[in-house]
Structure 1
Amino acid sequence: NAMVSSIVHVTNLPWKSVLKWFEDRRALDGVPDRRAPFQRETIS
């Protein structure tokens, strides 16, 4: 995800923290993220 990559690059935050933040945002917005497990596997 280019947007996440740019955020990581600009803020120097760890990948896991950024992904968790995005997942939390999606949870708050009520949008299920079916790609999260797949992304975690590919990154780790």
Structure 2
Amino acid sequence: MDNATSISLTIAVFLVCLTGLSIYTAFGPPSKKLGDPYEDHED
């Protein structure tokens, strides 16, 4: 494989994994622990 191809494939896999982790954190079971800063500081 060409050097540029392997680097771009590595970056693409990293971005897909980061996107998957972000979606899992936002909407999966860990989202129950997230707080809403607007609800925490109501007047």
TM range (shorter): 0.3 to 0.5
More helix by share: 2
Larger Rg belongs to: 2
The TM-score with structure 2 as length reference comes to: 0.39
TM-score by length of 1: 0.38
